[in-house]
Chain A
Amino acid sequence: MSEARKEILKNESGNTEIPVIELRNVNKYFGQSHVLKDISLKIRKGEVVVVIGPSGSGKSTLCRTINRLETIESGEILIDGVPVPMEGKALAALRSQIGMVFQSFNLFAHKNVLDNVILGPVDVLHRHRKQAKEEALQLLARVGVADKAAKVPAQLSGGQQQRVAIARALAMHPKAILFDEPTSALDPEMIGEVLEVMTSLAKDGMTMVVVTHEMNFARRVADRVLFLDGGSIIEENTPEAFFTHPQTQRAQDFLNSIKEH
């Protein structure tokens, strides 16, 4: 953990700092099923929050409601204290401040790697193309795929595509990045290279929400672990406390079921 973030976390109690992301009593339904139940959550600047839980627990949905890829039925979501707008240009503008990395990478298939990264900066932030390209090349170097700038996504491995997707998110200078199971679609030997990039982002103080099954990553990198089950946050703790002394039976069962293989 970086010194800067330790400072931030130390000030945790009683500070009046506005959280980067705040959820207030969020409820979400898919038809009859109540997938997010009264979720309240604050994520501070520089914090890395890892969301874990069994499949169907609502963790991906939680991640996707933050930038309104999923609508919510009730409650409030605020980014830097500003409620996420319902639709239109205001919503688009707010989304541009929050990066997102998906399980299936979702790179634009018709654009090469460099053009994938500069699309947002040029079209949304109205940066000069030349300037955006220079920065994109730096970001691609940072995630270790600078030599692939002229390739199209289909010519890259999954791990390389996901690192490009991270560079694409970074190019927007986001206030936070949401990772929705970023390594779940990867072959085992490629998981490490993506987690490495994410770890270095965390060290640099990026605010991150990470939905993942990578328990070692959670243990090493998270400032806080949220355990979701049945659409509710069942436990919320430091990784050390959560993994060594889970407070609930459900969390205990979940951890045991993972250990078994």
Chain B
Amino acid sequence: MSIQALLTQFGDKYVQALFTTWKLTATSFALAFVLGIVITVMRVSPVRPLRLLAEFYIQIFRNIPGASLLILLVYALPYLDMIFSYYTCVLMACTLIPAAFCSEYLLAGMNTIAPGQIEAARSLGLTFLQIIWRVVLPQALRSSVLPLTSLLVSTMLTTALASQVPLNPQDLTGLVSYINTHAVGGVTAFFISAALYCATAVVIGQIGSWIDRKVRILR
């Protein structure tokens, strides 16, 4: 089928699929970001069990393939009497893994902060959480805009996992499978989805670079 024909027949579905992909991406990235911050704070906290727990988290979720994690969430959790919708399972997979990477990037960002600033904050009487919140995180975030932008793009690509479970409406990759079982879309159907992923990624990249220039810290 030509692009023209595909778009005529499945145009609405592509739009829906694009929105599904965007929604999954935005939601899971937002959750991964918050979780990533929590894990990073745990990793630098003075409480050893918290540090160990956070390291354990990183080792698990940085090293597990997304598809394996999704299978575990869908098929293993019910044995623990935890049954989530397919959408929630995809969302969890797309949150738990990027959160580990988010934490790695934030930790790298923290390492750019001169230790003297932490000492200055301590000598002013700030508590651990105040130092994290007021001095460390703002600087770590501002110096990790570019890696976090890449993480947002890779989170979007990870949401293609949604094609492995029945969803309605489907995501961009899931839609291709749908089209190819209901019509003969062939590679062209993939091409349209790929173009939509790429276009989104380019926009994300541009916004990321713009934010980076705005917030970069003069040293």
Interface residues of A (CB under 8 A from B): 67, 69, 87-89, 92-100, 102, 104-110, 119-120, 123-124, 152-155, 165, 168, 172
- The residue in chain B whose Cβ has the minimal distance to the Cβ of A155 is B218
Minimal beta-carbon separation of B185 from chain A (angstroms): 50
A95, B125: Cβ atoms closer than 8 Å = yes
> Which residues of B from 120 to 176 have beta carbons under 8 Å from A?
120-127, 130, 134-135, 138-139, 142
Stretch in B13-21, B54-62, B64-72, B111-119 touching the partner? B111-119
Q: How many angstroms between the C-alpha atoms of A115 and B72 in the bound complex?
A: 48
Interface residues of B (CB under 8 A from A): 46, 113-114, 116-117, 119-127, 130, 134-135, 138-139, 142, 217-219
A69, B217: Cβ atoms closer than 8 Å = no
A172, B124: Cβ atoms closer than 8 Å = yes
Given A109-B217, A152-B218; A92-B117 close (CB under 8 Å): no
Given A102-B116, A104-B114, A123-B130; A110-B124 close (CB under 8 Å): no
A119, B117: Cβ atoms closer than 8 Å = no
Given A154-B218, A155-B218; A108-B126 close (CB under 8 Å): no
Q: Which of these, A104, A110, A155, A172, contacts B139 with CB under 8 Å?
A: A110
A92, B125: Cβ atoms closer than 8 Å = yes
Given A120-B125, A124-B126; A106-B218 close (CB under 8 Å): no
Q: How many angstroms between the C-alpha atoms of A99 and B122 in the bound complex?
A: 10
Number of A-B contacts (CB under 8 A): 80
B125, A106: Cβ atoms closer than 8 Å = no
- The residue in chain B whose Cβ has the minimal distance to the Cβ of A151 is B218
- CB neighbours (8 Å) of B130 from chain A are 123-124
A110, B142: Cβ atoms closer than 8 Å = yes
- CB neighbours (8 Å) of B134 from chain A are 119, 123
Minimal beta-carbon separation of A86 from chain B (angstroms): 12
Give me 5 other A-B pairs in contact (C-beta within 8 A), A95-B123, A100-B120, A124-B130 excluded: A67-B123, A88-B127, A96-B125, A110-B139, A119-B121
- CB neighbours (8 Å) of A172 from chain B are 124-125
Most chain-A Cβ atoms within 10 A of its Cβ — which of B117, B124, B135?
A: B124
* Interface residues of B, dominant DSSP: helix
Minimal beta-carbon separation of A119 from chain B (angstroms): 6
- CB neighbours (8 Å) of A168 from chain B are 120, 124
Q: Which of these, A96, A106, A109, A124, contacts B119 with CB under 8 Å?
A: A106
- The residue in chain A whose Cβ has the minimal distance to the Cβ of B142 is A110
Minimal beta-carbon separation of A64 from chain B (angstroms): 8
- CB neighbours (8 Å) of A88 from chain B are 127
- The residue in chain B whose Cβ has the minimal distance to the Cβ of A93 is B125
Q: How many angstroms between the C-alpha atoms of A67 and B119 in the bound complex?
A: 10
- CB neighbours (8 Å) of A99 from chain B are 123
Q: Show 29 residue pairs from A and B whose CB-CB distance is below 8 angstroms, ordered by the A residue.
A: A67-B123, A69-B119, A69-B123, A95-B122, A96-B124, A97-B125, A99-B123, A100-B119, A100-B120, A100-B123, A102-B119, A104-B114, A106-B114, A106-B120, A108-B117, A108-B121, A108-B135, A108-B139, A109-B113, A109-B114, A110-B138, A119-B126, A120-B126, A123-B134, A124-B124, A124-B126, A152-B218, A168-B124, A172-B125
- CB neighbours (8 Å) of B120 from chain A are 100, 102, 106-108, 165, 168
B124, A119: Cβ atoms closer than 8 Å = yes
Most chain-B Cβ atoms within 10 A of its Cβ — which of A93, A123, A165?
A: A123
Given A109-B117, A154-B218, A155-B218; A120-B124 close (CB under 8 Å): yes
Q: How many angstroms between the C-alpha atoms of A92 and B46 in the bound complex?
A: 14
Q: How many angstroms between the C-alpha atoms of A3 and B123 in the bound complex?
A: 30
Minimal beta-carbon separation of B15 from chain A (angstroms): 41
- CB neighbours (8 Å) of A152 from chain B are 217-218
- CB neighbours (8 Å) of A96 from chain B are 124-125
- The residue in chain B whose Cβ has the minimal distance to the Cβ of A95 is B125
Minimal beta-carbon separation of B35 from chain A (angstroms): 24
Minimal beta-carbon separation of B110 from chain A (angstroms): 13
A110, B114: Cβ atoms closer than 8 Å = no
Q: How many angstroms between the C-alpha atoms of A222 and B138 in the bound complex?
A: 40
Q: Which of these, B114, B126, B142, contacts A92 with CB under 8 Å?
A: B126
